Structure 1
Amino acid sequence: MTMARDEYIFLIILAVNLIVSVLYLAAGIVLMVPARASLADGNDEEILYDNRRTYVIRFIEMILCPVIVPLFFFMGHLFYLFVFWRDANLVDVVFSKDRVKTNLKADEEAERNIIPLEEALLVNEKKDLRSVFVNVMREDIRNSLASITLALDSEDSETSHYAAAVLSDELNKFRIFVQKQLTQVREKKDSDTEGEEILVDYMDSILKQHVFSDHEQRKYVNEMAEAAELLYEKDASRITLERYEAVCLRTLEMKDYGVAETWCRRMEEQYPDELSAYTCRLKLYFARQDREAFFQTLDALKKSDVVIDRETLELIRIFSTRRQ
């Protein structure tokens, strides 16, 4: 008796599942697909909708897996209605090409045949030299100006001509940008520091390559220090460790020891537990031949908990030996 009742319930479930499946198929093919198709035809925007084949496939799935599949489709539709019931607001979303990074697959065959520009200049093979120079031109040449400067003395007149044209154009861009940006930051009286930050970073990226004459290099280093000073007066916390180190090293290269010492002291105050705060002072005292200050800083570095890189460790080893 129990078996018969279970079979009867089972058959009822199958019948109900069949009726629901047929109704779903009929509603989809007869009503939903034509309605969505007419809506898509009357609208300029693309509208995605399920076609008749989709409903047939779902009908077969509902027949083969009764109850479970219909419930799955039903719950999925409810989830869609309650979660995605309205379009996303994209008003505040800005699509800018400048923020997009495209990762391209490496051209291994081409990379095998690429040599540094300096090596191509030494070999002085015109074909290789021109090929390398073209590859350098395709990249961001801002960080390759020092190498391009070497190409000015190349025996290949075409390469030297291209190098002179590229270098002249890039340095002129630098001069115009620095003059314009520095004028703006001098005139601005608000607390915004973006202009000063951009100016210091950009100037350092060019000046550290030493592509200007001594007179012009000194001029722009002084202007870079001025921009950093304006930034320090507005908000010293915006001067990162890298910016401190950049100003220290550029002024130190010009043997402007007073300015370099000021920035080394500021860096020590703001970043006392960073390696650069020690190495910049060591370079300053070594250049100024201040033996006492040099070894005091060296001893302080050895006693500190600062993580020391290989270069600084070798420096400590050499001068500790000489001191003895």
Structure 2
Amino acid sequence: MISLVIAAVLLLIHMLVCLVLSTLVKLGMLPVRGHMLPAMVLVPLWGPLLLVLCARGEAFGDALEDGTLESLRLNDEIRRGMQVQVREGDAGVVPLEEALIVNDPSDRRRLMLSMLTEDPDAYLAQLQAAKLNDDVEVAHYAATAVAQISKESDLKLQQLERAFKTDPTAENLDAYCDYLGEYLASGLAEGRVEQIQRQQYARLLARRCEREDGAALRIRYATALADAGELDEAEAVITQLVAEVPDDQEAWMLCLRLAVTRRDGEAVQQVIDAIDNQHVYLSAENREKLAFWRDGGEAR
């Protein structure tokens, strides 16, 4: 008897809850579809609970969808604005070489001041070219900047050389040798000073080759010998390397360079034939170089 009473009370509560929820649905306060109402009535407890969860999901889902769409719209507007800003900022940008050669004096001087205030070392090649500019003021600024860079480079080179002579460790040797190579590649050294420094660079690389035996280092050593004008020594090093590593393209290209430097047409043809016979892989740049010296040939 008691269980029947409890069941009747629970059923009455269920019906009241269904009535309230149905009213809210009709008033539009619960955004659920009509086919959910029979399930709510026929499934006590879980039916009304499921209806409430669905209504919550619909409400939050719409809000989430609206928020997502709004976020995408804002991101798209920001992206478009950034693109327009970049295009507007690039409107006055011209290549450095063009600005130094073609543009009017105001552009050249503005560019020169910009290079001097930002990072002169990064524009060393452009500054060296600007030294020969027809604009006297631009040439003066460029020459002054190059002189200052050269002074600082010489000072650092002297410090590295002093450290190496005081403590000739492998670390000091590598630091001195690497910086000297960068210094020579920059074109700051000229005349007799350049020749002396190139000979010193070759000697440093020779000492490194005594400590470590790698193809890249030996090619670097042979190249330094060739740059210093010691062609016989460079040829001896590269000939041995080619025999040991016959598929190294940089070694073969150095052989070609030595033959060209000697103006030996027969040797040039022999190197080209050897590269063909060995089926040496060549990069696009090296193929172009080889094609230039090949009689009527095309780049492979």
Q: Does TM, normalized by the shorter one, top 0.5?
A: yes
**1:266: Cα distance to partner?**
6.0
- Of 177, 180, 205 in structure 2, the residue corresponding to residue 203 of structure 1 is 180
Q: What percent identity do the matched residue pairs reach?
A: 22
Structural mapping, 1:147-296, within 5 Å: 147-190=126-169, 192=170, 194-237=171-214, 241=216, 244-265=218-239, 267-268=241-242, 272-296=246-270
> Which one scores higher on RCO, CA 8 angstroms, separation ≥ 6?
1
d(CA) in 2 for partners of 1:112, 1:222? 48
More helix by proportion, 1 or 2?
2
**Contact 1:208–1:250 (CA<8 Å) still a contact in 2?**
no
- Of 293, 304, 309 in structure 1, the residue corresponding to residue 278 of structure 2 is 304
Q: Cα RMSD over matched residues?
A: 3.3
Q: Judging changes above 3 Å, is the alpha-carbon distance between structure 1 residues 265 and 201 closer, same or farther for their aligned structure 2 residues?
A: farther
Deviation per residue, 1:7-52 (Å, 9 max, x gap): xxxxxxxxxxxxxxxxxxxxxxxxxxxxxxxxxxxxxxxxxxxxxx
Q: Could you state the TM-score of these two structures normalised by the residue count of structure 2? A: 0.59
d(CA) in 2 for partners of 1:182, 1:301? 40
Deviation per residue, 1:241-288 (Å, 9 max, x gap): 2x5555544543443313432443465467542211110110011111
Whose radius of gyration is greater, 1 or 2?
2
**1:196: Cα distance to partner?**
2.9
**1:225: Cα distance to partner?**
1.2
Structural mapping, 1:5-16, within 5 Å: none
**Contact 1:199–1:224 (CA<8 Å) still a contact in 2?**
no
**1:164: Cα distance to partner?**
1.9
Q: Secondary structure at the match of 1:208?
A: helix
Q: Secondary structure at the match of 1:173?
A: helix
Structural mapping, 1:312-323, within 5 Å: 312-321=286-295
Aligned residue-pair number: 215
Matched with 1:32 is: none
**1:148: Cα distance to partner?**
0.8
d(CA) in 1 for partners of 2:86, 2:184? 32
Q: Judging changes above 3 Å, is the alpha-carbon distance between structure 1 residues 202 and 265 closer, same or farther for their aligned structure 2 residues?
A: farther
Which range moves more in the overlay, 276-285 or 204-213?
204-213
Gaps in structure 2 of 5+ consecutive residues: 1-52, 54-82
d(CA) in 1 for partners of 2:253, 2:240? 14
d(CA) in 2 for partners of 1:235, 1:117? 41
